[in-house]
Amino acid sequence: MAKVLAAQPCILGFSLPDNLMPKYNFIQSRLGTTGQEFGQMVAKFPALLTLSIDKNLAPKLDLLLEEASVPAETLIRSPQLLGYSLENRILPRYTPLPLCRTPLPLSVPL
């Protein structure tokens, strides 16, 4: 917890019912995470709690889970992928791949 607060002290100002629980519930519903897995995701990528559901998390998860068929386990193990810019980093790399019939490699940074 100290690492998370050191990395993202603004989390102390977040409302539990208005900010943190909706993100927890959203991630849990989309990735099927347990409470422990969510905690591990936040420990690896504290900025996860600062991302907007509507403007950031939902569009990225839609693309990665549904269109790119990225396994949820990959995003649970590497939550920092959710911090990448959709327009500037993920889409430019994902868009040409179906033409090459190449899967999106997420084992290496995008």
pLDDT reading at 100 higher than 80: no
pLDDT (0 to 100) of residue 110: 45
d(CA 25, CA 50): 15
Number of domains forming the structure of the chain: 1
Flag whether 10 is in a domain.
Answer: no
Flag whether 109 is in a domain.
Answer: no
Q: Which residue has the higher pLDDT, 34 or 69?
A: 34
pLDDT reading at 104 higher than 70: no
Least confident window among 6-10, 21-25, 89-93: 6-10
Return the amino acid letter for 73: E
d(CA 78, CA 40): 10
Are 76 and 102 spatial neighbours (Cβ–Cβ below 8 Å)? Answer: no
Flag whether 9 is in a domain.
Answer: no
pLDDT reading at 90 higher than 70: yes
d(CA 31, CA 73): 8
Query: What does the block give as tokens for 7?
Result: 């990395």
Are 47 and 4 spatial neighbours (Cβ–Cβ below 8 Å)? Answer: no
Flag whether 110 is in a domain.
Answer: no
Sign of CA dihedral 58, 83, 1, 13: negative
Flag whether 42 is in a domain.
Answer: yes
Flag whether 8 is in a domain.
Answer: no
- Percent of the chain predicted with pLDDT > 90: 45
Flag whether 63 is in a domain.
Answer: yes
- Percent of the chain predicted with pLDDT > 70: 81
- CA-based end-to-end distance of the chain: 27
Give me the domain span that covers residue 87: 17-100
